[in-house]
Structure 1
Amino acid sequence: MMTVVAYGTVALLLLAAFAAAHRGGTIRHRDVAHDGWIQLQPLLLRLPPALLAGMFLAALIPEQQMVAVLGDASGFRGILLATLIGGIMPGGPMIVFPLALALIDAGIGVAQMITLITAWSVLAFHRVLVFEAPMMGWRFVVLRTLACLPVPLAAGLLTEIIRTGTA
């Protein structure tokens, strides 16, 4: 199923690129491809070690305990805990997503995983301390955190409703 989705996405992107190319724009394909290659080069150097680090970190996760507190049966309490864990989870996507894959393989619930990733994306307390608070001030941080706090919870609850038909 995932392969069909992946191939469909690539085909759709190629179709969109073909349509954009024949609209008569002034941007040349070679220039775009060159710029894309320039942006991709640093990522190609960082990606393999980051994925390895994420996989090694994932091996340290106690699977049974995580499934007990974040499995499908954990319900709303698991969604709350996933919000907390996602909010305090440090690291970039090359660390967090291999950890997320390990948690999925361990049996963490779908709603809890979506909550965790959403909380990591929206709350990210480590980024708040390093970037947001010094640059924007604590008043802004408090307002944004209060405004964004329901987002991971809503994502988890909506996932549970869509997945099972009940909250």
Structure 2
Amino acid sequence: MRKLIIRYKFFLIMIIFTLIIFMINHDIGINVLNTAFSSLLQMLTVVPPIMIMLGLMDVWIPREKFMKHMGESSGISGILITILIASIAAGPMYAAFPFIPVLMRKGVKFSNILLFMNAWCVIKISTLLFEISGIGITFTFWRFVIDLPGVIIISLITEKMMKKDEIDNLYALAENL
């Protein structure tokens, strides 16, 4: 029981905090519950298809293919493939997180994993189209021109700054998931 409480302490603290808000101001409490429920529904529509896709990717695409095209010796082609995959992805940022352990188990280079996460956030096609409609093509173009090399450079620098044993530990953790 104690382990369960420790594991879900943040969730339990948020429930207590929500109850306190609800007792202090009923309207704000209702808004908090509506927001939480809306977020839960959104996650339930996004996460199951992602998990199915991950399962299929894990089974259908051999480790050797990932290592060849996105692994340690992939070079510029690995960077381009990573950007392509991340830019055509759909869904919010939290949908990208389940991909990370799968990519690690498949032998994808660490900088390409970092690039995948950054590109998912910043240069996804759906985001660019939304941005063009809201802010305009000029701003979106220049943001893209700055962000594209930026995400590549940040990924490469971050990998270089990390110690090899730290990266190896992350890969070992991914194997146990």
TM-score of Structure 1 vs Structure 2, range by shorter chain: 0.5 to 0.7
Listed as ranges, the gaps of 5+ residues in structure 2 are 1-5, 165-177
The CA distance in 2 between the partners of 1:134 and 1:38, in whole Å, is 25
Distance 1:104 1:145 in 2: 27
Secondary structure at the aligned position of 2:64 is classed as helix
Hey, what's the Cα distance between the residues in 2 that align with 1:90 and 1:148?
17
Q: Unpaired segments of 5 or more residues in structure 1?
A: 1-5
- CA gap of 1:127–1:61, structure 2 versus 1, over 3 A, is farther
Larger RCO, structures 1/2 (Cα 8 Å, 6+ apart): 1
2:60 corresponds to 1:53: no
Equivalences for 1:108-147 in 2 at 5 Å?
Answer: 108-128=108-128, 130-147=129-146
- Residues 79 and 53 (structure 1 numbering): CA distance in 2 closer, same or farther, change over 3 Å? closer
**What do the CA deviations read for 1:36-92 (whole angstroms, capped 9, x no partner)?**
234423533553244213422443434312212322x23763663355335533322
Q: Displacement, 1:121?
A: 1.0
Partner amino acid, structure 1, of 2:106: A
CA distance in 2 between counterparts of 1:82 and 1:21 reads 47
Deviations 1:5-62 (A, max 9, x none): x94xx54565587689879x94459533454234423533553244213422443434
Question: Matched residues in 2 for 1:41 and 1:48: separation?
Answer: 12
Paired residue type of 2:48: P
Distance 2:104 2:143 in 1: 29
Q: Secondary structure, in 3 states, of the residue corresponding to 2:146?
A: helix
Distance 1:77 1:49 in 2: 30
The corresponding residue for 1:107 is 107
Report the counterpart of residue 84 of structure 1 in structure 2. 83
SS in 2 for 1:161: helix
SS at match of 1:74: coil
Name the TM-score, length of structure 2 as normaliser. Answer: 0.62
Structure 2: distance between partners of 1:58 and 1:13: 31
